[in-house]
A and B are shown apart, each in its own frame.
Chain A
Amino acid sequence: MIRTALLFALLLPAPLVAQEDLLQLLGEEESGPVYATASFKTTRVINGHSLENTAHGVLDFKISHRFGVLNGGYDNFFGLDDAEMRMGFDYGLTDRLMIGVGRSGYQKTVDGFAKYKVLRQCESGCSMPITLAVLATSSMNTMKQTDLPWYDPTRADYFTHRLAYTFQLILGRKFNDRITLQLNPGVVHRNLVGRAEEPNDVIHVSGAGRFKLTKRIALNAEYFHVLPDQLPTERTNSLSLGFDIETGGHVFQLHFTNSTGMFERAFITENTGSWGKGDIRYGFNISRVFTVHVPKRPAKGSAPDPSDLPHR
């Protein structure tokens, strides 16, 4: 019996193998973990941070504008006569850690942030279902002392009054090529508040998402919910809707929002526009990336030097 089986074993493989995929002989591929990429077109959904980072060595120059309210009428050319501006530079120190600085016209504020991806959603070779990033931002009002909204000559003015901080967790998942959703719980800490009853720490949670319409155009939405009884009643929650349009090295974000400021303290705690009353602003962010540092990649093998290849 054994002899018969052995004989068959010797005869069988040849015809069988001839038909099968040679590559199957190598078995499962041992490629390392592959993480989800391009969950959002850029590192901001609209005002707030998305779960994306700029890649290692990439500098992202952002110019953002928020125009006046649409209900300003023709006199104000539906808001386009006024504009708030922020310009900023973001940089990827590693693929997981990015930093950035910006300057806003709104209260002449300088802001800075660091964002770190603690967990990365996995596509293959690992098992993490979500991305978790931590974000820390700070902002500093740089107005002249006498211009400060809280200026009072009878009171000592401390530099620290100008500072505010925001901490957020960014939990998100790219569900498929089109849909990404994220939830950002967080707190804004203001060193100085308008009234004694107002808490310094404002707890909030934001929900944001994108729906990719075509390969290069996505629809984004973002809502910041401030937990009740923390802010004066005239303050509103920030709601924004917009499109991301990507054209190679640029991403154009065009949107409608009820927020003026483009850093966390402003659009989370100092928002007064109301969608219901038509205090809607048209705005845009333009992002342009530059590769300023090329991280070391695996060795390039011995393919011909590109300069040896014929040019068309």
Chain B
Amino acid sequence: MIIDRPVQPPLIMNTRKTLLVALAAAPLMLAAQDRFATRNGHIRFFSSTPMENIEADNNKVTSVLDATTGAIEFAALIKAFQFEKALMQEHFNENYMDSNTFPKATFKGKVTGFGSAELKKPGTYPVQVAGDLTIHGVTRPHTGTATITVDAAGGLKAVSEFEVKPEDHRIEIPAVVREKIAQQLKVSVDLTYTRM
């Protein structure tokens, strides 16, 4: 694993050997920190109205969870959301999400109720999540609940469901189609982590 991190200049001025030792030591530090990551997490959102149901899936969600500190982040490329209807997907990107300007939705926050102790014991843990949710370039505080499952092999799985209001993120919906898009979109997040 190669980690790009600033190393203070005075330390590496000495010899090449010093640098090598320093770099070799870095990954060991990470392993000790119980970090978990995924590149193919799943996010689905679902809009239900009497007129139309709309759903989209993104299977390329990236996320890192630090079980020691409880820090969690995830990012979803807007263009990676797949709709059943191609035109819907085009309009989602072009007309609603402006995905060229705001290519990603991100979440950055903290998990409470899960730490090193839980990590050692396989089981299912209900947790609280709080942090900043950024969609369409608009950051809003978000709190919710999630479930983290530790399997026997030490792998982690986190699932959460929450609701998002398009208007909260300055996503404009023209009056003519307002009836077709739910006031609150249901979002489900499903992340299967592996240890970094």
- A interface list, Cβ under 8 A from B: 1-2, 5-6, 8-10, 12-14, 16-18, 20-27, 29-31, 34, 37-38, 55-58, 92, 123, 177, 215-216, 246-249, 289, 291, 294, 297-304, 306, 309-312
- Contact status B73-A23, CB under 8 Å: yes
Q: How far is the CA of A306 from the CA of B71 in the complex (A)?
A: 30
Q: What are 13 inter-chain pairs, A to B, with CB distance below 8 A?
A: A13-B26, A16-B5, A21-B73, A23-B73, A23-B75, A25-B35, A29-B77, A37-B94, A38-B94, A246-B91, A302-B190, A303-B188, A303-B190
Q: How far is the CA of A55 from the CA of B93 in the complex (A)?
A: 15
- Contact status B44-A31, CB under 8 Å: no
* Interface membership of B138, Cβ < 8 A: no
- Contact status B64-A9, CB under 8 Å: no
Q: How far is the CA of A239 from the CA of B39 in the complex (A)?
A: 50
Tell which of A22, A215, A297, A306 touches B95, judged by Cβ atoms closer than 8 Å: A215
Q: How far is the CA of A266 from the CA of B44 in the complex (A)?
A: 48
Instruction: Output the nearest chain A residue to B100 by Cβ-Cβ distance.
Output: A177
- Contact status B39-A30, CB under 8 Å: yes
What A residues does B64 contact at CB under 8 A? 22-23, 25-26
- Contact status B18-A291, CB under 8 Å: no
Instruction: Output the nearest chain B residue to A37 by Cβ-Cβ distance.
Output: B90
- Contact status B37-A25, CB under 8 Å: yes
What B residues does A17 contact at CB under 8 A? 5, 29-30, 33
Q: How far is the CA of A300 from the CA of B83 in the complex (A)?
A: 11
Q: How far is the CA of A58 from the CA of B90 in the complex (A)?
A: 13
| Stretch in contact with the other chain, from B55-63, B111-119, B121-129 | B55-63
- Contact status A22-B66, CB under 8 Å: yes
What A residues does B3 contact at CB under 8 A? 25
- Contact status B94-A27, CB under 8 Å: no
Instruction: Output the nearest chain B residue to A24 by Cβ-Cβ distance.
Output: B4
A67 smallest CB distance to B (angstroms): 27
For chain B, the bracket of interface size reads 35 or more
- Contact status B182-A58, CB under 8 Å: no
- Per-residue contact bits, chain B 24-66, to A (CB 8 Å; 1 contact, 0 not): 0110011001010101001010101100010101011011111
* Interface membership of B183, Cβ < 8 A: yes
* Interface membership of B186, Cβ < 8 A: yes
- Contact status A291-B85, CB under 8 Å: yes
- Contact status A6-B25, CB under 8 Å: yes
Known: A5-B21, A27-B4, A304-B161. A18 touches B29 (CB 8 A): no
- B interface list, Cβ under 8 A from A: 3-8, 11-12, 14-15, 17-19, 21-23, 25-26, 29-30, 33, 35, 37, 39, 42, 44, 46, 48-49, 53, 55, 57, 59-60, 62-66, 69, 71-75, 77, 79-80, 82, 84-87, 90-91, 93-95, 100, 106, 108, 161, 174, 176-177, 180, 182-184, 186, 188, 190, 196
Instruction: Output the nearest chain B residue to A55 by Cβ-Cβ distance.
Output: B86
Known: A6-B25, A9-B21, A16-B6. A29 touches B62 (CB 8 A): yes
Q: How far is the CA of A40 from the CA of B104 in the complex (A)?
A: 24
Query: 10 new A-B pairs (CB below 8 Å) besides A25-B37, A29-B77, A30-B39?
Result: A5-B14, A9-B7, A9-B21, A29-B62, A38-B93, A291-B86, A303-B57, A310-B186, A312-B182, A312-B184
Tell which of B7, B18, B186 touches A1, judged by Cβ atoms closer than 8 Å: B18
Q: How far is the CA of A26 from the CA of B177 in the complex (A)?
A: 39
B171 smallest CB distance to A (angstroms): 12
- Contact status A300-B73, CB under 8 Å: no
Q: How far is the CA of A10 from the CA of B21 in the complex (A)?
A: 10
- Contact status A38-B90, CB under 8 Å: yes
What B residues does A177 contact at CB under 8 A? 94, 100
- Contact status B69-A18, CB under 8 Å: yes
- Contact status A248-B42, CB under 8 Å: no
Q: How far is the CA of A151 from the CA of B86 in the complex (A)?
A: 47
Q: How far is the CA of A30 from the CA of B60 in the complex (A)?
A: 10
What A residues does B106 contact at CB under 8 A? 23
- Contact status A31-B6, CB under 8 Å: no
Instruction: Output the nearest chain B residue to A299 by Cβ-Cβ distance.
Output: B59
What A residues does B44 contact at CB under 8 A? 300-301, 303
A9 smallest CB distance to B (angstroms): 4
What A residues does B100 contact at CB under 8 A? 123, 177
Q: How far is the CA of A25 from the CA of B69 in the complex (A)?
A: 15
- Contact status B48-A57, CB under 8 Å: no
Known: A12-B7, A22-B64, A31-B80. A306 touches B57 (CB 8 A): no
